Structure 1
Amino acid sequence: MNFENILFEENDHIAYITINRPSKLNALNKATINELHEAFVSAEEDSDIKVIILTGSGEKAFVAGADISEFADFSAEEGKRLAAEGQEKLFDLVENLSKPVIAAINGFALGGGLELAMAAHFRIASDNARMGLPEVSLGVIPGYGGTQRLPQLVGKGRAMEMIMTAGMIDARQALEYQLVNHVTTPEELIPLAEKIAGKILNNSSVAIGAAIKAVNSSFRNDVNGYEVEIEAFGQSFGTEDFKEGTSAFLSKRKANFPGK
């Protein structure tokens, strides 16, 4: 696939999606969001892809925020539509993919950039990363899920402080807050993501997709997460992956999951 604002590569069952606007610190504009939507949908539909690694190009930024010039003159109704369409097209899409998305934060992850990273299933960061939601300094609030996902990840008090101060935290503080799972050097960031992806690839993609759905359901007020888990657990018994996994375990061999 050819894109203007992102790079898309596939290797050994891993899709690499890289936001590629280094001159703009990889800021999210409408065109980039549309391309990311297309890339994630393509990766979801490709049976050969099992894990997705999301990062930014260059050494300075993962995504340094939204492209403010695109919406500086918006009306209230246009702003509401911007948030609703963006959440549906990209952020909610990423969160609910059946394939694991690892955000490899390689620099600034601010505003919409941090919101995109938080939509991923988990995050790792280079030690030069800086994260924050500076929207209130512009007279607006996070609109791509930041007020919802940040408290889920770091707790209400820390989220309130980050949002209200519009400040940044560094990678070590993000690790302390449990906003990221690991911190490493910039040179080791993608290798670490690949190492984790390799461990994921050893397991049933069908079961992983079901687990993602069950975990996500626990954060929805209109869904009983335990019931989702019970249903998904039962359905697992009817999959070819379950048959292969149990057979391999009993035969003391490595499983070769068909992904069905």
Structure 2
Amino acid sequence: MAGFLTIEKGHGPEGRVAVVRFDRGDGINALSPEALRQLTEAARSFEDDSGTSVVVLTGGTKAFSAGFDLKDPEGRSRKSMDIGALRRHLKLGPRMTRAWQEMEQITIGAIEGFCIGGGVALAVALDFRVMARDAHMRVPEIGLGMNMSWQSVPRMLHLIGPARTKQAVILADQRIPAAEAHQWGLVEEVAEPGHAFDTAMALAEKIAAQPPLAVAMTKLTVNRLAYALDDLASHMDVDQFALASRTEDHKEGVAAFLERRKPRFKGS
């Protein structure tokens, strides 16, 4: 399998900043099952790395990620899986976002171009997000007859509150431009186009200059308090997704997406 990620260590003060680059070289950076596995392993590779305090995750110059790859052969094989196999396969996404959320290091996402669906799910699992002024986010899952899963809803809820979370998820065609995302609290900093990574690195260097142990302990405390009830709120994610994937509306949503037409949903 081709490697979609590169990891660079030793940046910033005392070499305490690392960079993870996720770039498939196709301009859209879709999240295939193999990409999900590689992103999970990348996060886990920092478990015993006491020399790194901050990890900057960046996508390509045109896209952070277009979300789950609906055209990937392994992903499309879900249609023929029994419910047990499907549930196991659907754990790839939440496993990936959880791995990034649970990292001891501070994590910062640098977002250029677009950040869609699973890309948003990954971004909200990070500690901070920096977005180029001409970039946008979008959460299209409901428009494809699916639920927003990967434990993303509680993470979004913490950042932007209930009404904005409903607005972002239910209005599936709505683009959220960088300025709006910043106003909502979905991103922490807006950068000039092409400079999201530079801005993220500047923030990373400020954080890396702080005492590493105190930073790590503070992150752990905040996360434990903020996310204490998230498993209760989102434990049904996988089963909701498995159920939604069996509906006629899901078939229609995906078919309409692939055929570039407006879907016709019937609630079945």
- TM class by shorter chain equals 0.7 to 0.9
Bigger relative contact order (CA 8 A; separation at least 6): 2
Deviations 1:41-63 (A, max 9, x none): 22332222221000102x22101
Bigger Cα Rg: 1
1:60 correspondence with 2:74: no
Runs of 4+ more than 6 Å apart: none
Q: CA deviation at 1:65?
A: 0.6
Q: Is 1:118 aligned to 2:124, yes or no?
A: yes
Q: Report the CA distance between 1:154 and its aligned residue.
A: 0.9
Query: Which residue of structure 1 aligns with residue 244 of structure 2?
Result: none
SS at structure 2 position matched to 1:18: strand
- AA partner of residue 181 (structure 1): E
Match of 1:184 among 191, 201, 206: 191
Instruction: From the superposition, tell whether residues 185 and 78 of structure 1 become closer, same or farther in structure 2 (CA, over 3 Å).
Output: farther
Q: Separation in 2 of the partners of 1:183 and 1:109?
A: 14
TM-score normalised per structure 2: 0.76
RMSD of the alignment, in Å? 2.1
| Partner of residue 83, structure 1 | 90
Going from structure 1 to structure 2, the CA distance change for 1:108 and 1:78 (only over 3 Å counts) comes to farther
Contact 2:27 2:62 in 1 (8 A): no
Identify the residue that residue 52 of structure 2 maps to in structure 1. Answer: 49
The residue identity in structure 2 corresponding to 1:186 is: P
1:26 maps to 29
- Cα displacement (A) at 1:79: 4.2
Q: CA deviation at 1:87?
A: 1.3
In the TM superposition, 1:94-105 aligns within 5 A as: 94-105=100-111
Question: Structure 2 vs 1, CA of residues 137 and 154 (structure 1 numbering), >3 Å: closer, same or farther?
Answer: same
What secondary structure is seen at the aligned counterpart in 1 of 2:90? helix
Consecutive unaligned residues in structure 1, runs of 5 or more: 224-260
TM-aligned CA deviation for residue 3 of structure 1: 6.3
Q: Normalising by structure 1, report the TM-score.
A: 0.78
Distance in 1 (CA, whole Å) between partners of 2:52 and 2:224 is 24
User: Distance in 2 between the 1:3 and 1:210 partners?
Assistant: 36
Conserved 8 A contact 2:154-2:230: no
Match of 2:131, SS state, is strand
Q: Distance in 1 between matches of 2:9 and 2:200?
A: 14
SS at match of 2:100: helix
Identity of aligned residues (%): 30
Q: 1:141 to 1:222 in 2, by over 3 A?
A: closer
Cα deviations across residues 207-231 of structure 1 (Å, max 9, x unaligned)? 11111111111221399xxxxxxxx
Report if aligned partners of 2:159, 2:186 keep a CA contact under 8 Å in 1: yes
Q: Could you tell me which amino acid in structure 1 is paired with residue 37 of structure 2?
A: N
Instruction: Give ranges in structure 2 of 5+ residues lacking alignment.
Output: 232-268
The question of whether the paired residues in 1 share the 8 Å contact of 2:33 and 2:75 is answered with no
SS at match of 1:128: coil
